[in-house]
Amino acid sequence: MCGITGWIDWRKDLSGYPAILETMTRTLTHRGPDASGVWISRHCALGHTRLSVIDPENGAQPMTRTAGSYPYTIVYNGELYNAPELRRQLIERNHAFQTTCDTEVLLFSYIEWGKSCVERFNGIFAFAIWDDREQTLFLARDRLGVKPLFYVHQNDMLLFGSEPKAILAHPDFPAEVDAEGLAEVFAIGPARTPGHGIFRHMAELKPGYCIEFTQNGLAKRAYWQLESKPHEDDLETTAARIGDLLRDAAVRQLVSDVPLCTMLSGGVDSSALTALAARQYASDNRGRLHTFSVNYVDNDKYFQANAFQPNADAPWIARMSDFLGTRHHEILFDTPDLIESLYASVYARDTPGMADVDGSLYLFCREIKKHATVSVSGEAADEIFGGYPWFHREEMLSADTFPWSLALDSRVGLLAPELTDWMQPEKYVQRRYQEALLEVPRLPGETPQQNRMREMSYLSITRFMPTLLDRKDRMSMACGLEVRVPFCDHRLVEYVWNIPWEMKMTGNQEKGILRKALVGVLPEDVLHRKKSPYPKTHNPNYLTAVRQHMMEILQDSSSPLLPLIDRERVGAMAKAEATELYTPWFGQLMSGPQMFAYLIQVDAWLRRYKVSIR
């Protein structure tokens, strides 16, 4: 993968400002540690940092190709998994390739098919193409939003970047947040409303959207969205179709000219992808597949099963690694590692995130990078197939809000009354929730229960899944590691979206239809393992450490967090009994210790980015 950034300005000759572009580009070096490049014309400046995965010897960017004597220049972050098919079509149309990399395939696709090229792509991508003849910039992002893209449009200027930090490096764009941005942080966070960039005037290009920027202004359109229609396949056909789609996606995403591995938790999703990868490795005589898992010091001693985390991963990981004959690596972290990672993960995300859940993934990816450049992950299966508790627990299904964030009152109670009066968090969350429901593509004739499950699927795919995809992209790319997510193949998502809930729950088990599709791929005991989320530490030393850090912030008069919180209430929470602190307030993993860690991250974010509140 790579990092991309750019600056288009109709008022200035950008050839006179190379240092600004170079500074913006350097902020993304972690995303592309292998090479970097810039390209500047009168009104367009593009920067790129490269992580070499396909054709490392070639494919340098920015890349320029000429058609009809007019140059087209691209910066691109991603992978096209159908590049071989597109290459053959383009060669038939007389395009002459100089490399074997997919960057050139994408650029020639735009030259050949124009803006509609995005509809032909199977992959994960964010890219910008400058058409010198038309003096036009075209920006696009993949359908599910696996690859990030942020932008700022002000008057005659457009700034964009893979991460907010690239835009913040421009001298004309200060780090500011307003009431809406703070509502995102304190009421929606660590999720984020699609299209929202947190920082004032910054936006995110939504998944499945593209932009055209000319001297006449900015035009944005959706080129893909979920469509609801009757599902006509029977149970056996449906299971077979899912199996075919998943196998095709997994095999396509194993293509790499650099070392590749999988992340293995012992759950159905990661085990399935690891099994498919191991089979393909054996078929191709590529040797033993390397697998990686994460664990924490003394977790075996302190783990206690609960409704949100029913069992430990370690025995299941060993079961799958032995079954498949993989070369497995367990990465072990202790509390001091997790505390340190809270700060690194804030910079990786450019905002407060999922606390130690982010931080541990950052540390995990950093260790994997020592052995591999590409990893495959089971992210997104729970959103697509309905694996989360909120698909199955009545109090979550009936909640008139985002079901992964039911403790808004307790969160708001930790804030300064003046802040809550200003940003109106309850009203803000309710407005965002109702906006999301209005987007749901309905299917006439569905029962209320079927309609509600469609809503839950839509909320999960468009509101919760982006949080985890952001997490996976930022934490991995902060370490120069590319992570691929086959469950985000848009063909699979489109197909599963319309499978009736009763069929998704085949066997009366969450993700039942996926389990049926994987019969013969996984051992029976793994196939029917109860879902368990990404592992977190259960060591009481972690709670002790974040309490202490929180108390230090409360006693630091220079902390920018203090005016935003109710110090007395946060202090009381920091002194509460541990048993009072383990009800999740976001998702399944973030409870009391993670609330302290989240506030620590907010404090670190305000300090590091010198955020002004306006």
Q: What is the pLDDT of residue 127?
A: 98
Q: What is the pLDDT of residue 487?
A: 98
Regions of the chain short of the pLDDT cut 50 = none
Q: What is the pLDDT of residue 99?
A: 92
Query: How big is the chain, counted in residues?
Result: 614
Q: What is the pLDDT of residue 466?
A: 97
Q: What is the pLDDT of residue 579?
A: 78
Asked if residue 272 lies in contact with residue 520, where contact means CB atoms within 8 angstroms, the answer is no
505 to 386, 391, 392, 459, 508: CA distances (angstroms): 8, 10, 10, 18, 5
Distance CA 580, CA 410 (A): 12
- Tokens 């099963």 belong to 305
Distance CA 321, CA 277 (A): 12
- Of the chain, the end-to-end C-alpha distance in Å amounts to 35
Asked if residue 269 lies in contact with residue 378, where contact means CB atoms within 8 angstroms, the answer is yes
Q: What is the pLDDT of residue 589?
A: 85
Q: What is the pLDDT of residue 312?
A: 73
> Residues 6 or more apart from 290 whose CB is under 8 A from it?
259, 261, 262, 326, 327, 328, 329, 371, 372
Active site residue 2: yes
What pLDDT, in 10s, does the model give residues 310-361? 567 888 999 999 999 999 999 999 999 999 999 999 999 999 999 999 999 9
Q: What is the pLDDT of residue 582?
A: 83
Per annotation, catalytic residue among 2, 44, 210, 261:
2
Q: What is the pLDDT of residue 51?
A: 79
Overall pTM > 0.85: yes
> Residues 6 or more apart from 125 whose CB is under 8 A from it?
76, 77, 78, 79, 80, 106, 140, 141, 142, 147
Asked if residue 264 lies in contact with residue 526, where contact means CB atoms within 8 angstroms, the answer is no
Distance CA 514, CA 243 (A): 8
What pLDDT, in 10s, does the model give residues 191-245? 999 999 999 999 999 999 999 999 999 999 999 999 999 999 999 999 999 999 9
